[in-house]
Structure 1
Amino acid sequence: MKPINQTKITFPSRSSNEAFARGAVAAFVAQLDPTVDELADIKTAVSEAVTNCIVHAYPGTIGNVYITVSIFEDGRVRLRIADKGVGIADVQAAMQPMSTTGGAERAGLGFTVMQTFMDTLRVRSTPGKGTVVTMGKTIARRC
């Protein structure tokens, strides 16, 4: 099924851009008239995915973060957040709670948070080439 609306955003992996990403996605999704809770779920998941790009994909350097937000007629929202960073060698292990490459100051809960707040989560990664996180959530229609 083709999206009825879509936007793409690219920005440098600076921590100051995490709030921008969260706000931009929320503003785009607002056209579906989500509840405050639905919007908060999406913003939280975007925040986690973008933070993963900033902290893990480009350690010690700056690269680009790519976000595609697609809206479908049935109220589904698909978020694709990608980087061209270092990639993840073992995606299954990385998705386990408490798994982190970010040191003691990181909780290792990013993927767990994304799974909790979104309906679907898929992670694809190739070491040395980057990671793509695809998440989905259906916004309930209120008539």
Structure 2
Amino acid sequence: MGIKNYVHFEFSSLPENVSFARACVGAFASQLDYTLDDIEEIKLVVSEAVSNSIIHGYDNKTNQKIEITVTINEDRSLEIIIKDYGKGIENIEKAMEATYSSDPSRMGLGFTFMKSFTDEMDILSKPGEGTCVRLKRNFTNEQKEAFS
């Protein structure tokens, strides 16, 4: 599977940059002729991942770096990679449980939303080094037929 197009950008871990990341990824993903609902779901998973980086990875420190790479593959799948260099996740399995949060004031649904609105989700994390979340959304057969 080859790459058709990609974008890579980085930004500071400021809460106001969550909407920036959403907008950038949504605009880039719109090349695939997704429905508006699909684009909203893609933007939601980006919001969740970036918010996790800011809140949990960096403990709300605003001078840290978050990187996003978005790839459109030849098979018209969309791959989103969100990377931070924060404190990492001690126990990924535990973090993936619905309603688990390392912050008791949070709902703990971020990974649940990400998983439910994507076709693939992988998390790589090392305590003290950061976290990398890879999300993949396939272009459905119905969408392929409609736009071919």
Please state which band the TM-score falls in when normalised by the shorter chain. Answer: over 0.9
Query: What does residue 70 of structure 2 align with?
Result: 69
Instruction: Map 1:97-116 to 2 at 5 A.
Output: 97-104=98-105, 106-116=106-116
- Tell me the C-alpha RMSD between the 2 structures: 1.0
Instruction: Map 1:13-92 to 2 at 5 A.
Output: 13-62=13-62, 63-92=64-93
Shift of 1:90: 0.3
**TM-score scaled by length of structure 1:** 0.96
Q: After TM superposition, what 4+ stretches of structure 1 lie above 4 angstroms from structure 2?
A: none
Q: Is contact 2:82-2:134 (8 Å) kept?
A: yes
**TM-score scaled by length of structure 2:** 0.92
Query: What does residue 6 of structure 1 align with?
Result: 6
Q: Secondary structure at the match of 1:4?
A: strand
Q: Show structure 1 runs of 5+ residues with no match.
A: none
Q: Secondary structure at the match of 2:3?
A: coil
State the one-letter code of the partner of 1:54: I
Residue correspondences, number: 142
Return the alpha-carbon distance in structure 2 between the equivalents of residues 65 and 38 of structure 1.
Answer: 24
Which digits, 9 at most, give the CA deviation of each residue in 1:63-99, with x for residues without a partner?
1110000001211000000100000010000010111
Identity, in percent, stands at 39
State the one-letter code of the partner of 1:15: P
Which digits, 9 at most, give the CA deviation of each residue in 1:5-45, with x for residues without a partner?
00001000110000000000010111111111111110111
